[in-house]
Amino acid sequence: MVTVARILRSQGQEGELRVRFFHITPADCRGLQTVLVGKEGDFKEYAVESLTFRGKHFDLKLAGIDSLSQADRLAGLEIGVAEESLKERPKGEFFVFELIGCEVFDGLGRTVGRVRDVLPAGSGDILVVDREGKEILIPFHESICVEVDVPGKQIRIDPPDGLLDVNEI
């Protein structure tokens, strides 16, 4: 299962939910017929009745959630989908969950650290890499991240001079 969204709050009197997707859109999910709702390994499956785009968020209607009070109880919970229900990304594009946990190496094979998070940053993303307890920020750009091996959970970088030192304040 992959966490793809969080329920922000209830929306309306009929049990709708206001939802924010993480680095993914419903278009990345094939059909989105069912979702898992919960947190920390305790999830319940729901059928999706509707999903409507509302600005930067979505309104989601789940089968069996038909009142404001039922929807309020789901606020703050995560939404997950089966990984195999996600559309395959074009070459060179990755889901955030695929990058988190990757080991980052430099051109000489030295370990830089492990990807802890990915931050959206306008025209591109930034890898947040844990380097022996310190945080290193590395632009996720093909000129720097020259090889991404998702199955092997490795990213090889060719950083410009000083990039790995600039974060050490």
pLDDT digits (tens, 9 = 90+) for 38-77: 988 799 999 999 988 887 788 999 999 999 999 999 999 9
Which CATH number belongs to the domain containing residue 103 in this structure? Answer: 2.30.30.240
**Distance between CA atoms of 106 and 36, rounded to whole angstroms?**
38
For residue 16, what pLDDT band results from cuts at 50, 70 and 90?
very high
Q: Which domain holds residue 111?
A: 96-164
105-118: pLDDT as tens digits: 998 899 999 999 88
In this prediction, residue 166 carries a pLDDT of: 65
Which CATH number belongs to the domain containing residue 80 in this structure? Answer: 2.40.30.60
**Distance between CA atoms of 139 and 143, rounded to whole angstroms?**
9
90 falls within a domain: no
In a shared domain, residues 7 and 81: yes
For residue 169, what pLDDT band results from cuts at 50, 70 and 90?
very low
> Is 80 exceeded by the pLDDT of residue 127?
yes
In a shared domain, residues 113 and 149: yes
In a shared domain, residues 71 and 123: no
Q: Which helix (H) or strand (E) holds 148?
A: strand 145-149
Helices (H), the chain: 68-72, 96-99, 163-166
As for how many domains the chain has, the answer is 2
For residue 138, what pLDDT band results from cuts at 50, 70 and 90?
very high
In three-state secondary structure terms, 30 is coil
For strands 103-105 and 154-157, give the pairing: parallel
Kindly report the backbone phi and psi dihedral angles of residue 143, in degrees, each rounded to the nearest multiple of 5, phi listed first: -75, -20
- Contact predicate 104/157, CB 8 Å: yes
In a shared domain, residues 53 and 101: no
In this prediction, residue 22 carries a pLDDT of: 76
In this prediction, residue 14 carries a pLDDT of: 93
169 falls within a domain: no
> Is 70 exceeded by the pLDDT of residue 168?
no
In three-state secondary structure terms, 105 is strand
> Is 90 exceeded by the pLDDT of residue 162?
no
In a shared domain, residues 79 and 123: no
In a shared domain, residues 157 and 122: yes
Q: Which of 61, 85, 109 is the last residue of a domain?
A: 85
The overall longest dimension of the chain from CA atoms, in Å, is 59
In a shared domain, residues 56 and 9: yes
Q: What's the alpha-carbon Rg for the chain, to the nearest Å?
A: 19
Kindly report the backbone phi and psi dihedral angles of residue 32, in degrees, each rounded to the nearest multiple of 5, phi listed first: 40, 60
Burial class (CB in 10 A: 0-12, 13-18, 19+), 49: middle
43 falls within a domain: yes
In a shared domain, residues 9 and 52: yes
